[in-house]
Amino acid sequence: MLTVDEQKHPIYYLLFDGTPTAQDTEAHLASWERWLSEGESFGVIQRQVGVEAGEGKPPKEGHKLEVDFFRRNRPRIAGLCFGVAVVLDSEAMLDKWQPLAAKAIENMVGCTGRAFGTVAEAVQWLEERQIAAPPIEAAPGEHR
């Protein structure tokens, strides 16, 4: 099950409880599309609970949707997203993914990313990234 919390704009929170379903994947990508359409810089905390190492991947067709979406939107994401922080509650998953997270997130999503063991660490990192991110300039005739 996916829960999306957008109350702490511009840092958005995605909580996956268990293995994502096809509906979760669709909602996940719809959230990204909405954030990109707003045209403002943002960061994402993605947390997954209720899974152990080797579990928690979306179904094959969901993974293909994600890969296609992120590939197609890579330039937009690179211009707007100041970071993706993945929070892994499982120590085994954190040990496995922390060394690989930066490269994997950059390759998959198109912006800087890291893996953390707590939401507090993720928030702190994203807040630091947000401050360091250059402001987005409006295109001629566009107001922000």
Q: How confident is the model at residue 137 (pLDDT cuts 50, 70, 90)?
A: low
The predicted structure's pLDDT at residue 91: 85
Least confident of 9-13, 21-25, 86-90, 135-139: 135-139
For residue 10, whether the previous peptide bond is cis, meaning omega lies within 30 degrees of 0, is: yes
CATH number of 2-132: 3.30.750
Would you kindly state where each structural domain of the chain is located, as residue ranges? 2-132
Q: How confident is the model at residue 133 (pLDDT cuts 50, 70, 90)?
A: low
- H runs (alpha helix) in 46-85: 60-80
On average, the pLDDT of the chain sits at 86
Instruction: Give the model confidence (pLDDT) of 32-76 as tens digits.
Output: 999 999 999 999 999 988 766 555 555 677 788 999 999 999 999
The predicted structure's pLDDT at residue 144: 44
The predicted structure's pLDDT at residue 139: 46
Global pTM? Answer: 0.84
Least confident of 4-8, 18-22, 81-85: 18-22
Strand order in the sheet with 81-88: 2-5, 11-17, 42-49, 81-88, 113-116
